[in-house]
Amino acid sequence: MFCTKCGAQIQEGANYCSRCGTPVAATEVSAGEAAQCTSGMATASLVCGIAGFFLGPLLSVLAIIFSIIALPHFGNNPALKGKGMAIAGLVLGMIGLAWIVFVIWTILVFLGFLVI
Ligand SMILES: [Zn+2]
């Protein structure tokens, strides 16, 4: 098969074009742009979901938003890859938010004891 972006021949089983780096999965789908966008959203969701644990609730919220944007596309196109990442991002985002709420609640309780 050939890369739809640069036209270079791609080896069977390769995940990326060796010349321009375009993902093969995206070149196989007719709506290549949408596929890349969706898998990018899924990746961003997963990354934000993990980063939210360390960097704060804003990233956890972003992870949930990204996965909500990305997930409907997977229902329309089963060939799209990254659904697992989007779901993982959604779950991690929710756990991250719950964790932040727990930390804030703990701090408030602690401060409450100090005031008393
Ligand atoms: Zn290429």
Amino acid identity at 3: C
Write down the pTM of the prediction. Answer: 0.58
Adjacent-strand bridge partners of 80? none
Ligand 1 (ion): residues with CB under 5 Å are 3, 5-6, 8, 17, 19-20, 22
Between the CA of 20 and the centroid of ligand 1 the distance, in Å, is 4
pLDDT of residue 82: 84
Report d(CA 62, CA 24) in Å as an integer: 27
pLDDT of residue 27: 44
Between the CA of 74 and the centroid of ligand 1 the distance, in Å, is 24
Q: What does the pLDDT profile of the chain (116 residues) look like in tens digits? A: 788 889 888 888 888 888 898 887 644 444 555 666 678 888 999 999 999 888 878 899 999 999 998 888 877 676 777 888 899 999 999 999 898 888 888 898 888 876 65
Report d(CA 70, CA 38) in Å as an integer: 5
Between the CA of 112 and the centroid of ligand 1 the distance, in Å, is 60
pLDDT of residue 32: 57
Between the CA of 25 and the centroid of ligand 1 the distance, in Å, is 12
CB neighbours of residue 96 within 10 Å: 26
pLDDT of residue 29: 47
- The dihedral sign for the CA sequence 90, 95, 101, 103: negative
Hey, where are the domains in the chain?
1-30, 33-115
Report d(CA 86, CA 69) in Å as an integer: 9
Between the CA of 23 and the centroid of ligand 1 the distance, in Å, is 8
